[in-house]
Amino acid sequence: MAYFDIVKKIKKSGLLLFAGIFLFTSSLLAQRSTLSGTVTDSTGHNRIFGAMLLLTRVQDSTIAGGGSTDSTGHFVITNVAPGRYSLKCQYTGYKPNTRMINMPDSSIDLGRIRLTASGHMLKEIEVIGGAQVRVAQNGDTTTYNANGFKTNPDANAEDLVNKMPGVTNDGTGIKVHGEDVKQVLVNGKPYFGDDPNAAMKNIPADMVDQVQIYDKASDNSQFTGFDDGQSKKTINIITKSQNGTFGKVYAGYGTNDRYNAGAALNFLHGDRRLTLLGMSNNINQQNFSLSDISGAVGSTRGSGRGGYVRPGSAAAGFMVGQQDGISTTNSFGLNYSDKWGSKMQVSGSYFFNVTDNSNNSDLTRNYYTGSDSIFQYRETNTAATRNINHRFNFRFEYTIDSMNALIIAPRLTYQYTDYAKNIDGSNLDALLSSISSTMSNVSSLNTAWNAGGSVTYRHRFAKAGRTLTTSLNTTWNNRLGTGTNYSQSYYSAIDSSGIDQHSSLFSNGYTLSPSLSWTEPAGKKGQMLFSYSPSFSTGMQDKSTNNFDVASADYILLDSSLSNKYAYTYNTQRGGVTYKWAGEKLMIAFGADYQNAMLSGSQSFPPAGSISRSFNSILPDGQLNYKFSKGTNLRIHYRTSNDAPSVSQLQEVVDNSNPLQLKTGNSILRQDYQHMLIAHYGKTNFDKATGFFVFFYGVLTNNYIANSTYIAEADTTLPGGILLKRGSQLSKPINLNGYKNARLFFTYSLPLTKIKSNLGLTLSGGFTSTPSKINQQLNISNTYNVGPGLTLSSNISEKVDFTIAYNGSYNIVNNSYSTQSDNNYFSHTASARFNWMFYKGFVFNTTLDQTFYYGIGNYSTNFLLWNASLGYKFLKDKSLDVRVNAFDILKQNTSVARTVTDTYIEDSRSNTLTQYFMLTVTWNIRHMDAPKKDGQDNSQDQQNQNGGGGNGQHQHQHQGGQK
């Protein structure tokens, strides 16, 4: 069937299905009511901002709502059906207040809910130096009081969060108990989409009142109460006030023409929030997310700040805003959230980024083809990349009435990447004698559009626990690119070859995924979930490569071995049932889905052909949550899933951008089958302010999409007419069983009251087993790593702030076939941060980062990166800061990395930022309104026993971990 005919059929069937679902659910509308109130202290005069509320149905113990109070102490909860409820209200430093509620069929206002200060907690306040209680546990949500963690006035939210127990930052992003943070919210609302860096780096620490950490469930999970496995580790930053303006404007210039300028401004007015971000610099400060780097990740490796040893992917470095080499960045961002009327909540952001990066690097890769065969590949290269990115996303949440809601979330991204790289590479044998060499110049110019969105309609019935959710998710992508490849390769004194080619690439595809889920109460404490979610995906890719024709002086000679036209469809039908039982301490859920997947592909050039496969899978799922006591709980989640190969993996076209290392696809790839187990155990002692956490993550994948690499030990002609010279290689993806990955993370935190500091101890271990084939022989590469960590952060005062940290990692690599690649290596980083405000506004800051690598070949190193600054704060409010900054005082900064794969070990080194001095002027803006006191309005206490809560939006933001 023709590609566009398939597209039309998918569009028609998907839209008809969604239309039918929507019309069916629209006939089920009913009416619900809202609750509201105000939380104050025991006097009734001081309103409490950030108090947490939880509304639970008495009949079946399921959560009906929840949230937190705003800057005026007020809360509203919507979509509450008539019935009997329990409302729990709590805030750190106060005793919880629980009310029984008889909800009528109309909206009510509770007036004031008063909280009484806890004498026991007040005693603990004195022990830790006058600050409020630092940590509180509410179900799966951990709340930290920012006042319990002292930072200097110039610190940002990232500096504050890094002091909190269980939070670590190893250079690849913020982690909580070993798990990556995927999203950061501000006052419960998205901040520049899912980019965790934007809020952490641009919200001042002194504007933060509380930090909440929890697993934020997906929209559907929040509504139904069933975890679909799509939760994100989330940090929610609650500001001290929701009215006012804060931020900073800065500019600096230094030696070697280094400059840095920008602004971060936040405008808050009740529900409305507007944030403006801008930056321009050439000192490697960036604001990246993964969507900014399409087409560029292949050119990166490691960290430009100083490097780190890791087995991870190249894209990981972008998540912390770092790139190898030297980068010049110009970016602008706009974030907006508001409430339009009483029924519409909106949020969205736009981000624009231009980055120019120059990177010079050299690397060594060791390949092992058997017990006696060793090949080494060495390369020096220079690369230049320009990336332009526009990113837009929005979310509309419309409450039709108390029983029905509609969510619309569109998104759009445009990327432009201009890339050029010069490569000087050579293959060496076991005696390090040259086998072959190449000098190549490659370039590419790519534009890519990515669009999509979701529409979700949700309905609650009058019967508690009965809900219906329908949704439609779509994605669309389009890529257009051109490239050039000029190279000259030498295999002996008389054997050489050259390439002079132009290529073009066009690809597009989209996915249409409607879904339907129904929940039904089953007994007093049980609930059933019935779900159906088909998915329709289609795509195509057309690559054409032409060689230079001397006669016509043009690129008109089509190279069929490097050209290909391929189209595919991947359609699934999935449905299942899950049962959940929730008691006071124990929650268990188990179920299974059945999935039928159809994968078909057709190749129209060079040889015509097609494939068609059907896969049937049973996908079980299970959860267990057990609350041993207050502050101690265990959560276990087991799930299974399938992933299909991408069109680039299916397309059998050769990538010859490096003539010594060819790559191609595989049209007969199958989908994989993945088992995943995640376990969390947490124990918090609120009296002693200590915490112990364990996190485990394990994955077993069959039909894993692995690599098959053929390294020619002699000149070889492969099927398809591909000629490999000795030492050259061809790799392609294949399916293999037995991929395993496991990670275990321990953390223990406690206050050291005698020195007014916080101590965090960590121990992590990991294991990865990756199957691959090397010259048709199965190789299992096992990597083990273990490492201790320590963080000591001060809690003395705003004028003296220090942090001492250590992280070590010992790595062992064993292989079943290429045993010569077995290797042990070690790395550690020891760092110290010290900030001191002394004598009438003078400020001294210094950082020391000692990095040590051992066992990574020619690049084993030990270096110290020392930065310092000295400044003075002007004006009465000390808002104007002028300081001199010194970077890399000892001139030791370097960027090295080790990358371990299933077929080689690579050690690399890149150019990086070196010593410079800069004068910087910063204006810190703080104009915040204080929360209103009770005397500022005329509201009266209502002695009504019918309780209230927070709105549905806040339910999942603050109670996202509870089900």
Instruction: Report the C-alpha gap between 791 and 749 in whole angstroms.
Output: 9
Q: Which helix (H) or strand (E) holds 776?
A: none
Instruction: Grade residue 151 by pLDDT with cuts at 50, 70 and 90.
Output: confident
The three-class DSSP label of residue 48 is: coil
Confidence of residue 934 (pLDDT cuts 50, 70, 90): very low
Task: Output 202 or 137, whichever has higher pLDDT.
Answer: 202
HEC profile of 636-676: EEEEEEEECCCHHHHCCCCECCCCCEEECCCCCCCCEEEEE
More confident residue, 909 or 308: 909
- Write the pLDDT tens digit of every residue in 242-263: 788 888 999 999 999 999 999 9
Mean pLDDT computed over 897-915: 82
pLDDT > 80? residue 867: yes
Q: Which residue in 188, 167, 189, 187 sits closest to 178, CA to CA?
A: 167
For residue 535, name the pLDDT band (cuts at 50, 70, 90): very high
Task: Return phi, psi of residue 410, to 5°.
Answer: -85, 160
- Alpha carbon 827 to chain centroid, angstroms: 25
* Token pair of 133 as six digits: 């209680």
β-bridge partners, 626: 586, 634
d(CA 892, CA 906): 23
β partners of residue 86: 56, 100
pLDDT digits (tens, 9 = 90+) for 330-341: 999 999 989 898
Q: Where are the beta strands (DSSP E) in 797-878?
A: 800-815, 823-838, 842-854, 861-874
Instruction: Tell me the mean pLDDT in the region 598-619.
Output: 83
630 Cβ contact partners less than 8 Å away, ≥ 6 residues apart: 137, 686
CB 918 within 8 A of CB 887: yes
Kindly state the tokens that stand for 662: 């060819």
Q: Report the alpha-carbon distance of residue 340 to residue 360 in Å, rounded.
A: 51
Which pTM does this prediction carry? 0.73
Residue ranges with strand state E in 686-756: 690-702, 704-711, 716-718, 722-724, 729-736, 739-752
Q: Which residue has the higher pLDDT, 365 or 535?
A: 535
Copy the structure tokens of residue 813. Answer: 């690599």
Q: Are the C-beta atoms of residues 961 and 142 closer than 8 Å to each other?
A: no
- How large is the average pLDDT for residues 811-839? 85
- Tokens at 272, concatenated: 């409305």
Please report, rounded to a whole number, the percentage of residues in the chain having pLDDT higher than 90: 34
Of 576, 370, 474, nearest in space to 18 by CA: 474
- H helix count then E strand count, the chain: 7, 51
Quickly list DSSP for 917-960.
Answer: EEEEEEEEEEEEPPPPPGGGS--------S-----HHHHHHHST
Instruction: Please list the residues that pair with 151 across neighbouring strands.
Output: none
Burial class (CB in 10 A: 0-12, 13-18, 19+), 430: exposed
Reduced to 3 states, what is the DSSP secondary structure of residue 658?
Answer: coil
State the average pLDDT over residues 822-843.
88
Question: What are 646's two structure tokens?
Answer: 């991408």
At 296-312, the pLDDT tens digits run 333 333 333 333 232 22
Q: What pLDDT is stored for residue 691 in this prediction?
A: 81
d(CA 901, CA 908): 14
Predicted pLDDT of residue 953: 33
Between CA 766 and CA 860 the distance in angstroms is 23
The band of 314, judged by pLDDT with boundaries at 50, 70 and 90, is: very low
CA 112 to centroid of chain Cα atoms: 40
Tell me how far the alpha carbon of residue 746 is from its chain's centroid: 21
Alpha helices (runs of H) in 579-721, residue ranges in sequence order:
647-650
With vertex at residue 449, the alpha carbon angle to CA 446 and CA 454, rounded to the nearest 5 degrees, is: 155
User: Which of the four pLDDT bands, split at 50, 70 and 90, describes residue 288?
Assistant: very low
Reduced to 3 states (helix: H, G, I; strand: E, B; else coil), residue 17 is helix
Cα–chain center distance at 27: 39
pLDDT value for 856: 66
Higher pLDDT, 48 or 957: 48
**Please, are residues 525 and 533 in contact by the beta-carbon 8 Å criterion?**
no
* Phi then psi dihedrals of residue 934, to 5 deg: -60, -35
Contact status, residue 171 vs residue 851, Cβ threshold 8 Å: no
Q: Kindly state the tokens that stand for 106.
A: 């109309």
Query: Exposed e or buried b for every residue in 183-196, given b needs 16+ CB within 10 A?
Result: bbbbbbbbbbbbbb
Residue 549 confidence (pLDDT) above 60:
yes
pLDDT at residue 962 is higher than 60: no
Mean pLDDT of the residues in the chain: 80
Has residue 235 got a pLDDT over 70?
Answer: yes
Q: Is the pLDDT of residue 46 over 90?
A: no
- CA atoms of 405 and 397, how far apart (whole Å): 7
pLDDT at 720: 67
Amino acid identity at 156? N
pLDDT, position 106 = 75
Q: Are 328 and 355 in contact (CB under 8 A)?
A: yes
User: Is the pLDDT confidence value at 873 over 70?
Assistant: yes
Q: Examine the pLDDT at 128 and tell me if it is beyond 70.
A: no
β-sheet with 52-57: strand ranges across = 63-68, 52-57, 83-90, 97-103
CA dist., res. 136 & res. 134, Å (int): 7
Find the mean pLDDT for residues 915-933. 82
3-state secondary structure 49-97: CCCEEEEEECCCCCEEEEEECCCCCEEEEEEECCEEEEEEEECCCECCE
Specify the length of the chain in residues.
Answer: 963
SS3 625: strand
Higher pLDDT pick, 721 / 629: 629
The band of 559, judged by pLDDT with boundaries at 50, 70 and 90, is confident
pLDDT of res. 171: 59
Which CA distances in Å does 446 have to 314, 387, 388, 909, 915?
A: 19, 10, 11, 27, 35
Residue 948 has pLDDT above 80, yes or no: no
| Cα–Cα–Cα angle for 420, 421, 422, rounded to 5 degrees | 135
Q: Which helix or strand (DSSP H or E) is residue 584 part of?
A: none
HSE toward the beta carbon, residue 748, CA cutoff 13 A: 5
Query: What are the residues whose beta carbons fall under 8 Å from the beta carbon of 649, sequence distance 6 or more?
Result: 665, 666, 669, 705, 733
Please check the confidence at residue 960 and state whether its pLDDT lies above 60.
Answer: no
Q: How far apart are CA 865 and CA 877, in angstroms?
A: 33
Cα–Cα distances in Å, from 845 out to 37, 62, 869? 46, 51, 5
Please give the Cα distance from 750 to 791 (Å, whole number).
11
Q: Is 116 exposed, middle or buried (0-12, 13-18, 19+ CB in 10 A)?
A: exposed
Angle at 946 between CA 944 and CA 949, to 5 degrees: 115
The segment with the largest mean pLDDT, out of 9-13, 798-802, 803-807, is: 803-807
Q: Give the mean model confidence (pLDDT) for residues 321-328.
A: 72
In this predicted model, what pLDDT tens digit does every residue of 692-707 receive, in sequence order?
Answer: 889 999 999 999 999 8
Q: Is 566 left (phi over 0), alpha (psi -120 to 50) or beta?
A: beta
Please say if the pLDDT value at position 182 is more than 50: yes
Is the pLDDT at 662 greater than 60, yes or no? yes
Peptide bond into 606 cis (omega under 30): yes
Residue 956 pLDDT grade (very low, low, confident, very high; cuts 50, 70, 90):
very low
**Letter for the amino acid at 552?**
S
- CA 214 vs. chain centroid, Å, equals 14
pLDDT grade for 18, boundaries at 50, 70 and 90: very low
Point out which residues pair with 616 in neighbouring strands. 596
pLDDT above 50: residue 507? yes
Kindly tell me the sign of the dihedral angle through the C-alpha atoms of 726, 727, 730, 731.
Answer: positive
In this prediction, residue 713 carries a pLDDT of 78
